[in-house]
Structure 1
Amino acid sequence: MATLTGSINITLAIALANVMDIGQSNYPINFGVNFPFENGSGDGQASAAWTDERTIAASGSENLDMAGVLADAFGATFSVTKIKGLLVAANANNTNDVLVGGHASAAVASFFGDATDILRVKPGGAIALIAPKAAGYAVIPTTADLIKVANSAGGTPVTYKILIIGA
């Protein structure tokens, strides 16, 4: 069985500048958060990872099952009861948005206020949901274990990359 160690890092580095009557004013913004993970299921721990690059046909959708259908990089079954990190990045060449969430009957709804809610990932954009505490985002086999990913419109397919870590 594989063990998991690593971290999720999010870094923002922006410079605001304003030309004044004499000179220029600068305000550098540096912000970062780091979420280290060790192997396990408690605070700051995860034990499974699944990642893929996928394409969805125009107006299409797919359901990603968190409880025993997907296989990890080593061919082992990916099955978690809590998600500690979900990252989705839409290809910059997409015309349509990538929609995450909103499965009708068995949604992993703990990301949202309501099971029908969705996150819209614009072309070239990304989302990251990180829950490093022991509870994570709840996954309940059979009743709340599907993450729906959909193409927002017709005409063209969408491509996205996804990473899920959990325990």
Structure 2
Amino acid sequence: MEVSNIVLSAPLQQLKDEHVSLQEDMDLFYGITEEIEFESGPAVVELFAKLCEQVSAFTDKLRAHSKREEEGLFPMMARRLGEKDRTIEVMEFEHEKAEHHLQDFLTEANKKASTIDENDVQWITVYAVQAHATITQHFAKEEKQLFPLAENILSVDEKEELERLLQA
């Protein structure tokens, strides 16, 4: 049986669907990082300003999504999986890792804001590239493993509770 073909209940499907819009936003900012890599001069600083806006807006959306998983889905799954299972711990670690990359990007961009030059742009942009890679891999893992696992282990009542939490 191919696990990724499993039909997800409404709340799990909602979390999965949120990945689509987040991935689109990420691909937009990743496209800008590629342009930065191949540009030079004042264009780089202009592109970086665009990148900062995109990453900032994306970070807010991602934070809201992660919060829904961390406050709803993860605790329910952790109770079912038991203390010895590290699945949720790994997912939370990946959330933190992605958050750190995004935060490092925004912090460094703000520090250099008025004095930013091409060199600064190049090394600060690496954080956005790292965030993209981390989150892309994380989403794939959630979609192929975590959501199907949740579908199988959560009770109907838990799924209904999760749905209520996601609507709140």
Name the TM-score class by shorter chain: under 0.3
Q: Which has the higher contact order (CA 8 A, sep 6+)?
A: 2
Could you state the TM-score of these two structures normalised by the residue count of structure 2? 0.25
Q: Of Structure 1 and Structure 2, which has the larger fraction of its residues in helix?
A: 2
Q: Of Structure 1 and Structure 2, which has the larger fraction of its residues in strand?
A: 1
Could you state the TM-score of these two structures normalised by the residue count of structure 1? 0.25
